[in-house]
Chains A and B, each alone.
Chain A
Amino acid sequence: EIVLTQTPGTLSLSPGERATLFCRARQSVSSSYLAWYQQKPGQAPRLLIYGASNRATGIPDRFSGSGSGTDFTLTISTLEPEDFAVYYCQQYGSTPPWTFGQGTTVEVK
């Protein structure tokens, strides 16, 4: 099983600031099969990024993903009020289980 560790656990920022979230895997994630999801309270998760760096349909370009192998990053270039939420990474590489990280909370400072 590939364990994903997200850091930091909580990020306290103000609207307009840049957010950088990290996801580290204990083993290499094949073919960069790494996704990022956003979840707001009481809602289902929403796909933001897939294949480490591809934005999902309808996702604003202030969201970007990068990385390969074991280290991945989600960047929100300029935080909007609606971006304060919990973010999860997930790997969906060669073999199950296709695990999630424990999440990073982006909160208003």
Chain B
Amino acid sequence: EVQLVQSGAEVKKPGESLKISCKGSGYTFNKYWIGWVRQVPGKGLEWMGTIYPGDSDTRYSPSFQGHVTFSVDKSISTAYLQWSSLKASDTAVYYCARSAILGTISQLDYWGQGALVTVSS
């Protein structure tokens, strides 16, 4: 069974750093792109970008480029989303999701449960 399990909720202060995780199982993790999606409370879905675990090829949305970093650790089938300096406007639920087609950026067929990040002084 394909699963993506994300790390838990976080509460941080503005300016702090953070790294959240997304662990894949039940499939060949290295061969499917992993996307990241933001959802501000009460708002819609925003595509942040995607990473290919096989070679760490990464595509960022211009809206998030330079503010977040994607990475992977293939040895433990885990993708990461990190910030070096959080802002209050980063408060949101962050989802990871798998692209459905092997080796190709495509529709997102399996989703993590989401991780709520709250940034408040």
A residues bordering B, Cβ < 8 Å? 1, 33, 35, 37, 39, 44-47, 50-51, 56-57, 88, 90, 92, 96-103
Contact = CB atoms under 8 A, between A and B. Distances in A.
Contacts of A97: 47, 49, 61-63
A88 B45 contact: yes
The prevalent SS among residues of A at the interface is loop
B114 A44 contact: yes
The prevalent SS among residues of B at the interface is strand
Contacts of A103: 44-45
B109 interface: yes
Interface of B: 35, 37, 44-47, 49-50, 59-63, 95, 97, 100, 105-109, 111-114
Given A1-B62, A97-B62, A97-B63, A47 B108 contact: yes
B113 A44 contact: yes
B49 A46 contact: no
